[in-house]
Amino acid sequence: MKANGDEMIRVNGLKSCDTCKKALKWLESEGLASHFRDLRADPVTLEEVKRWGASAGWDVLVNKASTTWRGLGDEEKASAAGAGAAALLVAYPALIKRPVFEAGESVVVGFKPAQQETLKAL
């Protein structure tokens, strides 16, 4: 959604995340209106996580490169397969690959050039 549109891009992430900070600066430089949500201060719901996973894919949504992931036990990691990941992501928001952008019904996860192009096209 462009800055002059009625809807903003919702950016879900962690305020301490450098990638989220870069994404917010980039959105502003592109003239794309956004609103940031810190997932620690305003926790994600199970319904939201399920919607994100269904839209973006569970393999995309779960950040298996995170320190939090490495600290999980084998049983918890096994529960992160497919839709079973939703409860784990609600319990450990740092496991969510960041940022998660929402614009209308669209969900975009991550901030690489491909995601940036998708955001510009919204």
Helices marked H in 34-111: 46-56, 58-61, 67-70, 74-78, 85-91
Q: Which of 1, 8, 17, 94 is catalytic?
A: 17
**Which helix (H) or strand (E) segment is 27 a member of?**
helix 18-29
Q: Is 20 considered catalytic here?
A: no
C-beta separation of 28 from 51 below 8 A: no
Residues with catalytic roles:
17
